[in-house]
Structure 1
Amino acid sequence: MRKFILIVFLLCQFFSFGQKPKFDLVQWVNPMIGTHKMGHTYPGATAPFGMVQLSPDTDTIPYAVNGKYNKDVYKYCAGYQYDDPTIVGFSHTHFSGTGHSDLGDFLLMPTTGKLQLNPGTETQPEKGYRSKFLHANEKAEPAYYSVLLDDHNIKAELTATNRVGMHQYTFPKSDEAHIILDLMHGIYNYEDKNVWTFFRVENDTLVTGFRQTNGWARTRTVYFAMSFSKPIESYGNKDYGKAQVYRGFWRKFDQSKNFPEMAGEQLRAYFNFKTEEGEKIKVKFALSPVSTEGALANMRTEIPHWDFDRVKQESQAQWNQELSKVRAVLPTKDDYINFYTALYHTFLGPTTYMDVTGQYRGLDQNNHQANGFTNYTTFSLWDTYRALHPWFNVVQPKRNADMINSMLAHYDQSVHHMLPVWSHHANENWCMIGYHSVSVIADAIMKGTYTGDANRALDACVATARQGYYDGLQYYMQLGYVPEDKNSSSVSKTLEYAYDDWCIAQVAKKLNRQDVYQEFSQRAQNWKNVYDKSIGYMRPKMSDGTFKKEFDVLSTHNQGFIEGNAWNYSLYVPQDPAALIQSMGGNKKFVPHLDSLFTMHLPDEFFADTEDITREGIIGNYVHGNEPAHHAAYLYNWTNQPWKTQERVRMILKKQYQSTPDGLGGNDDCGQMSAWYLFSSLGFYPVAPGSEQYALGSPAVKEATINLENGKTFTVEAKNQSDKNVFVQKVELNSKPLTQPFLNHSDLAKGGKLTFYMSSKPRK
C-alpha cells in the first residue's frame, strides 16, 4: 500500500501539468535548447545578466583560412555545437544566440598524463589537451554545468556568480595533473586577434593578468584574477607569438618554467599538481573591465569561500527569483520546458559590465564610475528593440532603465555623439542598421518605466538621428530616402530610420517638444518614398529619383534589403499598419499578400547566398529566424480578418520552438527569439515599441501570472485551451469585453486579468 501511495505521489509531481508547477522553476530550464545548428546559445553556467558566462567550447575554428573567410566559423558563435564529439575547454565569456561573435576569454582545461599545450583536433584529440565526451555524462542547468572528460577521466563542474566563475575538477590519482590556461583561445579567432596578454603568479594559489584583443570589438581589454584551492606544485608557459624574438634582456631568465610573470601575444600557461583518487581541485576565476585589482575585489566579494555547492545553490536561487516573475500554467511538460527556457534566455543579457565598486571601462577607453545605476553591455539592438526590451518593460523595468542609462553613458563617451547601435565591452561594432536605441528609450518613456531625465534622453535620440555621416543618413535627410546607388540596403535603412523617427516624435509629443515632434513626424512618413505603387512593393530608389530597374521581389542579393527581401520588408511599417494597408490596396489586396507570405514556396536560388543559414527558420517566405518580419503575423489585426493572426501565431509557436537542442528556428539573437515566444505565448505582442499598444494573438498558456515590480499582478487566462482551440471568440479585461484586438500597457501595469475564450472555429 505504501509503495502504491509513493508511486501515485511521484506521478502527481511529474505529470500534474495544467497546474502551477510544484518544483523550482530552475528545473524546467534546459540550457541545451539552441545549442544545435543555428540557435547559437551556450549551455554553461552564468548568473542572471551575469558578466561571466562560463561555458564549454567544442572547437577552435579560425575566422579565415589562407586569407579567405571560413564558413564553418559561423557555427561557433557561442563556442559550442551539440553534435561535436570533443571539448577544448571552458572559457569565461560568451554571447547568447548571436549571428556574429567574439569573446571566449581565458580558457581553462584540466588534463592528466603527459603535458600537451596545443588543443589537438576533433579527429585526433589525443594529440592535444582537448577531450572526447558523451552527452550521457553531461548536465546543464541554470548556473551549473558538468561533464566527464573521457580522455582524462576528470569530472568538470562549473558554476558562477555575476562576476566570478567557479570550477570544480574531480581528478583521478595522478602525479601528472595539470590545469591549462589558454590565453590564445577565442571565439571567431582572427590571426591577429590577440594584441597582448599578460599573467603574473602572485603566490602559490593566485594568478592575475589581462588580455587585449582586436576582434569584432576593435580594442578590448579584460582583466582576471584566478585562485586555486590547492597550492601549485610547479608551473610554466609557452609563447607561440612572434614577439618572443624581440625579448632582449629578458633572455637572461628561463621564462618557460616557474617564472612568475609573462607577457606576449600568444601565451599558454600550465599549472601542475599531484592528486589523489577523487580529489577535487577548485578554481575561482574573476573578471574585471578595469584592473586585476578590480577582479580580485570581485572575487573576494562574491565568493569569499571555497564551497562550490553553496555558490551553485545561491546562484540558482537568484534564477528562481527571476523566473518567478512569470508563473505559468501550461498544457504539457514540453511547454513548461520551452516557456521557462525562453524566459531564462531573455535574462542572459544584456550583461553586467562593471566591478562591484561600480567602475567600468567606457567607450572612450577611460575608467568611469556608474553612479546610481548598473552599467550593462552587449546591446544587439537591431534584434532586441523589437521584443526583448519591451519584454523588460513588463518584467524587468528597473533593469531596463539601467540599460538605458548605460546607453546614455555610451552617448556621453562617444566622439560621434551617438547612442549605441551594436555595442559590447566598451566598443561600438556598428553592426546592422538603424539607430534602435531610440526605440528602446522611447518605449520605456512612453510606458512610464524610465524615471530618469526624459528630455536628456530625447536630446540624445535627436542628436543620433541627425548624424549625417552615419550609414546613408545624409541622403535620407536630404532626399527623404536612402538611395541604393549611394548606400546599400537602402530600403531597409529608409524603413527602419522612418520607424525610429516615429519613436522620437512620440516622445517629443509627450514632452511637449513641438518643434521636434513636427520634424520627426514628417521624417516618419519617409517610408512612402520607397513604396512603388505600380508593383505594390517597397523598392530601392536611385539618387535621381527613379526606382531601381533590375529588381526581384524574392531575391535577398543586392536588392536594397538586409536579412530579408521586398516581400518581407514591404510589411515593415510598424508605426502605421493602417496606412500601409491602405497604400497596398486595402484589405482586399493586403490580406492575400500577407497570406502568401506564410504559404508560398521559395525557389532554391533564394538560398544561393545564405550557405543554408536561413533555411532553419522559414515558413513559406516568412523567415522567423530573422527579425524583420517578427511582427508580420500580428498585422491581420489591422484588417477585417484578425482571426488569421491567432492561427498564424499558434502555428509559428508550434513549428519554431521545440524542447530539443535544435529547438530554435534560427539564432536566439540575445533573447529576441525567446521574447517573441513569451509574448506570443501570453497572447499579446508589441508590434510598434514606442507605443503603449499591444496587438492580441492566441495565448498558448492555460494561465499565467506576471508579478510586476510595482507589486501588482497581471494574469492571463485562456478558457477552453487546447492544441485545436487556437481561435479567440472573445476577450475580457477585468470582466469587461474588449471590442478591438489590442491591449494597452497602462492597463497591464495597473494589474488585473485578461481572459481569452478559445474555440476551434474562427470568429469571422
Structure 2
Amino acid sequence: MILHKKATLFIGLLIGFFAKAQTQDFTHYVNPFIGTSNFGATNPGAIAPRGMASVSPFNVAGRENVLEKDSRWLSNPYVNENTFLTGFSHVNMSGVGCPDLGVILSMPTTGELQTDHLVYGTTYTNEVAKPGYYSVELDKYNVKTELTASTRVGVSRYSFPAGKANVLLNLGLGLTNEQGAVLKFNSPTEVEGYRMVGSFCYNNAESAYPIYFVARISETPSNYGVWDKPAKYGGLEAQWMGYNGKTRLKEQFMREVVGDSIGAYFKYDFDKPTQVDMKIGISYVSVSNARENLNEEVGDASFDAVYKQTKQAWNDKLSVVEVEGGSVDDKTIFYTGLYHTQIAPNILNDSNGEYPAMKTRAVKHTEGTRYTVFSLWDTYRNYHQLMSLLYPQEQLDMVNSMLDIYDQNAWLPKWELNATETFTMVGDPAAVVLADTYARGITDFDVDKAYKAMLKSADTREGNPLRPGLAEYIDNGYVSVDSDVAGPVSTTQEYNIADYAIAQLAEILGKKQDAKRFTKRALSYRKMYNKDSGFLQPKMSDGSWYEPFDPLAGANFTENPGFIEGNAWQYLFMQPHDIKGMIKLMNGNKKFEEKLDALFAEDQFDMANEPDISYPFLYNYLPGKSYKTHEKVAELIDTYFTNKPAGLPGNDDTGTMSAWLVYAMMGFYPMTPGEATYTLSEPQFDTVRIHLNPDFYSNKTLTIKNQSTRGNYKTTAFKVNGKTLSTSQVMHKNWVEAGEVIFE
C-alpha cells in the first residue's frame, strides 16, 4: 500500500495463486497519488475497475482555495497541494481536461451540526491510498474516514470518538456551475434523490442530466433532517418569506426537498467510539436502479468484504502484465500507469443492464457493457491499441458502445460523456478506433454498420458535427484560416489521420475504390507544408499563406490561428501514416533528423500533450538511428514519470499518458493509428510477460526479455522466436503470436 504525507512508504509482497500461476499482489505497486499534482487530474480515491461510482476526497472548494476551482480551471475533485477538505464526492472522472461531476458529497463531523462547507471543512493528515481504498484522518474532528467502492456503489467507514457526531450528505457542491437537486428521507437511515450535472467545460448547460442515488447508513441516528439554503431575497419580499438567504433546517422531514444548496444530515450522540458505514448506490437511469445497484452489489456486506472483492478485481486487471527486474519505483510507476488505464472509459449501465440513451435519455438495455467517457481525441493514438492487446473484450465492448451511440445519435462519438456529446476537440477520432480495432483482429462487431458510420462522417459535406469545414477540405485538401474552423492546420491533419484509417479498413473489406480515394485524401497535409519555413502553415481559402506566421505561437495553450493545443513545432511531424512521405518532404533522412533533433534541443517537444507524444519513436524510421529512439524514450520516462504526486507530465487524458508509459516501459509502441503495427524501443525491465486473452489470441503468453545493457543503445537487436528482425517495425499479428521476443 502507499502511505502519503505524514505516513511512510511500505511495499510488501503477497505470494498466492492466481490464474493458475504463483503471482504477487500487484496492488502493492500502485500509488494512486501519482498524477494528483502538476495538473495530472487524477485523484487518490477509491474506485473499482471502470467503476461508475468513485469516492474521492474533495479539497478544491476549501477555505483557502474556494475560488481556485474557477480561477485555475480545476477538472478534478482533489489537488495534492491543497490542505482543506470539505467532503468525499461519489461520482468523479480521472484525467480529464475539463470539469464536471464531483458531486454527492458525504462528510463526517463532530460537535454541533454545521451545514456550511467553509465552516465544517477541515485540514487532514495521514492519507493512505491503494487500488479500491483510501483513508484519511480529519484534524478538526479526530475522525478516521475510510473509502472503498464496488462498480456502482461507494462505501465509507467513519470511526467516530465518543460524543456528538454528524454525517452530512451535501448536494450543493460540485465541480461546475449547474445546480439543482432533489432528496427525500425514506427512513431515518435511508435517503434517495438526484443531483443535476452536465456542464462539461462549462458549456452545453441545456444538456444537464440527473445522477440518481440511494444512501443508506448503518447506525440509526438520534435525529435527522434536511437543510436548504434558498437564494437571497431583499426588501418586503424577504420579510414576507420570513428569511433572507439563511440556511433552514427541517428535522425529521420526510417529504421531497428540491433546491440548489440542499443536503441531508444524520445526528448522533455516541457513548463510546463507534464506526458508522455509509453506502451510496449510483445510477444514471432512476432512483429504483440506484437502490437495485446498492442491494445487488453490496447489500449487507461489510466494508472489509467490499474492499476485499474490489482489491481482487484490481489484481485480476493488473496481473495481465508481469514484470521482473527494475527498481520498486520502476514497478510502481508502471503498475500505476496500468491502473490509470483501467479507470476510464467507465461503465454506464446499471447492474440490470439499463442505461440512458443518447439525446433522449430514454431507458435502453444492454446484455453486455455500455461504456462512457470517450475522450477520443486523446485515446485514439495509443490507448485503444493497448486495450486491444491487454483487454480485448473491453475494447470490443467499447467499440460496440460507440456503435450504440451511432444508432441513437446518428453520428459516431467525438467526446461522449454519460450519454451526452460534448463535441470537445477536433478531428474524427472514432473512425480511427473502429478501423484500428478491426485491423488487430477484434472483429466481432457489425463492421458494415461501422463502415457506414465512418463514411457518413467522412463524406457529409454540410451540417456535419464531427467534421466542420469538410467541404473545403475535400475540395482544396485543407481547412483554411478564413473558414472559422478552430485550428485549421490541426484539423486538416486530424482528418488526414481519420481518412487513412478508413482507407485501411476499406482495403481489408475489399473496397478498393474507397481505399484509393481515402489514401489520397490522407496525404493532403502536404499542401500546408511551406518549404521556405520548414513548417506546416495555415492557409487562406485562396491558397495564400496566412501571415504573420510564428512557429512558436500556440505553445502552452496560448492562441494560434492554425493549431489546437500546440504550435507549429508540436504538429510538424503529426503524420504517423506518412512517415516516408514526411522524410521526402523535408529533403531526406539527414534534414529530417536535424529537424527532429531541433524539436528536442529547442525544448519544443511537449510530453504533456497528445500531438507529439509519438515523436521520440520517429528515429526508428531513419537508417542507423534507432538508438536515438531508445535514448530519448528512456530519458522521457526518467524525466516525466516518477513515483511522486507530480509523477505524470500533465493531464493523464483518461489514461492516454499512462498508456504511453506502459507501452514505453514494455519496449514497443503503436506508431500509426489505424494500422496494426508496432515500432520497437527497449524494455525498462529484464522481463515483461503479457498474459494474452485466449478468447482472442492463440498464444497464451508473450514474453519479452531484455538482454541488453541499459545505456548501450547502439547495440540493440531484436529476436522474435529466435529470428533476428531486420527492422524496428513488427506487425501486431506477428507480435502476439511470437511467444518470445529478445532485445539483445
TM-score of the pair, normalised by structure 2:
0.90
Cα 1:340–1:503 change in 2 (3 A) is same
The residue number in structure 2 matching 1:717 is 705
Contact persistence 2:285–2:363 (CA under 8 A): no
CA shift digits 1:468-500 (9 cap, x unpaired): 333322322232211012223100000011110
Within the alignment, does 1:302 sit opposite 2:285 as a pair? no
Q: Which residue of 2 aligns with 1:733?
A: 720
Aligned to 1:585: 587
Conserved 8 A contact 2:501-2:674: yes
- Residue 141 (str. 1) matches residue 138 (str. 2): no
The answer to whether the Cα contact below 8 Å between 2:412 and 2:453 also exists between their aligned partners in 1 is yes
Post-superposition shift, 1:523?
Answer: 1.6
Specify the alignment match of 2:122 in structure 1. Answer: 131
Quick check: 1:31–1:42 contact (8 Å CA) kept in 2? yes
| Contact residue 148 and residue 156 of structure 1 kept, 8 A | yes
Distance 1:272 1:477 in 2: 66
Does 2:255 correspond to 1:258? no
Residue of structure 2 in register with 1:562 after alignment: 564
Match of 2:731 among 741, 744, 764: 744
Q: Deviations over 1:684-728 (max 9, x none)?
A: 101112111111112211111111112611111100343x33445
- Find the counterpart in structure 1 of residue 54 from structure 2: 53
- 2:359 and 2:610 map into 1 onto residues whose CA distance is 31
Q: Give 3-state SS (helix, strand or coil) of 2:673's partner.
A: coil
- Within 5 Å, give how 1:356-395 maps onto structure 2: 356-395=351-390
Measured after TM superposition, the shift of residue 53 of structure 1 is 1.4
Kept in 2, the 8 Å contact 1:243–1:265? The answer is no
Give the superposition deviation at 1:148: 0.5
C-alpha distance in 1 between matches for 2:714 and 2:85: 46
TM-score (norm 1): 0.88
> Conserved in 2, the CA contact under 8 Å of 1:110 and 1:179?
yes
Equivalent residues of 1:36, 1:83 under 8 A apart: yes
Alpha-carbon offset, residue 84 of structure 1: 1.4
Q: Mapping of 1:111-122 within 5 angstroms?
A: 111-120=109-118
Q: Of the candidates 205, 214, 227, which is equivalent to residue 225 of structure 1?
A: 214
Aligned to 1:206: 190
Change beyond 3 A, Cα 1:686–1:61: farther
Whole-angstrom distance in 2 between the partners of 1:43 and 1:388:
21
Q: 2:479·2:489 contact (CA, 8 Å) conserved in 1?
A: yes
Alignment size in residue pairs: 700
Per-residue CA deviations over 1:519-551 (Å, capped at 9, x if unaligned) read: 322221221121112222100011111111200
Corresponding residue of 1:6: none
Do the aligned partners of residues 376 and 694 (structure 1) sit closer, same or farther apart at CA in structure 2, a change above 3 Å counting?
same
Letter aligned with residue 417 of structure 2: H
Distance (Å, rounded) in 2 between the aligned partners of 1:11 and 1:551? 53
Distance in structure 2 (CA, Å) of the matches to 1:358 and 1:243 = 43
Q: Helix, strand or coil for the counterpart of 1:746?
A: helix
225 and 70 in structure 1: CA distance in 2 versus 1, 3 angstrom threshold: closer
CA contact (8 A) 2:106 2:167 kept: yes
Residue 383 of structure 1: how far off its partner (Å)? 0.8
Provide the rounded CA distance (Å) in 2 between the counterparts of 1:626 and 1:197: 36
Q: Give the corresponding residue for 1:43.
A: 44
Cα distance in structure 1, aligned partners of 2:23 and 2:216: 38
Q: Could you tell me whether the CA contact under 8 Å between 2:12 and 2:28 is conserved in 1?
A: no
Aligned partner letter, 2:412: L
Tell me the distance in 2 between the aligned counterparts of 1:430 and 1:276.
55
Structure 1 equivalent of residue 229 of structure 2 = 240
| Structure-2 change in CA distance of 1:728 and 1:395 (3 Å) | farther
The CA deviation at 1:22 is 6.1
Compared CA separation, residues 241 and 639, structure 1 to 2 (3 A):
farther
> Contact between 1:21 and 1:329, CA under 8 Å: does it hold in 2?
no
1:593 to 1:71, Cα distance in 2 relative to 1, 3 A:
farther
Paired residues of 1:353 and 1:425 also in contact (CA < 8 A): yes
> Residue 476 of structure 1 aligns to which amino acid in structure 2?
Y
Q: Which residue is equivalent to 1:634? A: 617
* Unpaired segments ≥5 residues, structure 2: 1-9, 15-20, 243-247
Report the CA distance between 1:205 and its aligned residue.
Answer: 1.5
Give matches, 1:262-341, under 5 Å: 262-341=257-336
- Relative distance call for 1:529 and 1:373 in structure 2 (3 A) is farther
> What residue number does 2:168 align with?
180
Q: Secondary structure of 1:488's match?
A: coil
Choose from 515, 518, 521 the match for 1:517: 515
Q: Shift of the alpha carbon at 1:730?
A: 0.9
Cα distance in structure 1, aligned partners of 2:344 and 2:197: 22
Q: What RMSD, in angstroms, separates the aligned Cα atoms of the two structures?
A: 2.4
SS of residue in 2 equivalent to 1:170: strand
Residue in structure 1 matched with residue 27 of structure 2 by the alignment: 26
Q: Does structure 1 residue 542 correspond to structure 2 residue 544?
A: no
Residues 61, 73 of structure 1: 8 Å contact kept: no
The answer to which of 492-501 and 91-100 deviates more is 91-100
From 477, 481, 486, the equivalent of 1:480 is 477
Residues in 1 aligned to 2:422 and 2:429: alpha-carbon distance in whole angstroms: 14
Cα separation, 2, equivalents of 1:746 and 1:214? 41
> Structure 1, residues 173-223: CA drift from partner, whole Å, max 9, x if none?
11x311111101111x32xx11x2111111121111111234116322100
Match of 2:663 among 674, 679, 687: 679
Query: Offset at 1:70?
Result: 7.0
CA distance in 1: counterparts of 2:277 and 2:66, whole angstroms: 37
Residue 574, structure 1, aligned to residue 576, structure 2: yes
Q: Distance in 2 between matches of 1:463 and 1:154?
A: 57
Where 1:670 maps in the other structure, the secondary structure is coil
- Further displaced range: 575-584 or 363-372: 363-372
Partner of 1:464: 457
- The unaligned stretches of length 5 or more in structure 1 are 1-9, 15-19, 121-127, 601-619, 758-764
Deviation at 1:36, TM superposition (A): 1.5
Q: Distance in 1 between matches of 2:641 and 2:66?
A: 35
Question: 2:83 pairs with 82, 85, 95, which one?
Answer: 85
Matches within 5 A, 1:499-510: 499-510=497-508
Alignment-mate amino acid for residue 479 of structure 2: V
**Residues 251-289 of structure 1, C-alpha deviations (whole Å, 9 max, x = no match):** 9xx972221121112212222122243211001101001
Gap change, CA 1:264 and 1:625, over 3 Å in 2: same
Q: Residues 375-454 of structure 1 correspond to what in structure 2 (within 5 A)?
A: 375-414=370-409, 417-454=410-447
* 2:142 aligned to which of 141, 144, 153: 153
SS at match of 2:612: coil
CA distance in 1, matches of 2:566, 2:601: 17
- Residues 173 and 278 in structure 1, CA contact (< 8 A), matched pair in contact too: yes
Instruction: Answer whether contact 1:156 1:169 (CA < 8 A) is retained.
Output: yes
Equivalent in the alignment of 1:708? 692
SS at 1:184 equivalent: coil
Q: How far has the Cα of 1:450 moved from its partner?
A: 3.3
1:740–1:370 distance in 2 versus 1, CA, 3 Å: farther
Structure 1 residue 425, shift from structure 2 partner:
1.1
* SS of residue matched to 2:659: helix
Q: CA deviation at 1:95?
A: 1.5
1:342 aligns with 2:337: yes
Contact 1:702 1:721 (8 Å CA) reproduced: no
The counterpart of 1:106, out of the listed 96, 104, 114, is 104
Q: Which amino acid aligns with 2:741?
A: L
User: How far does the alpha carbon of each residue in 1:46-72 deviate from its partner, in whole angstroms, 9 at most, with x for none?
Assistant: 00111111110112189x999xx9764
Give how far 1:637 is off.
Answer: 1.5
Counterpart amino acid of 1:703? T
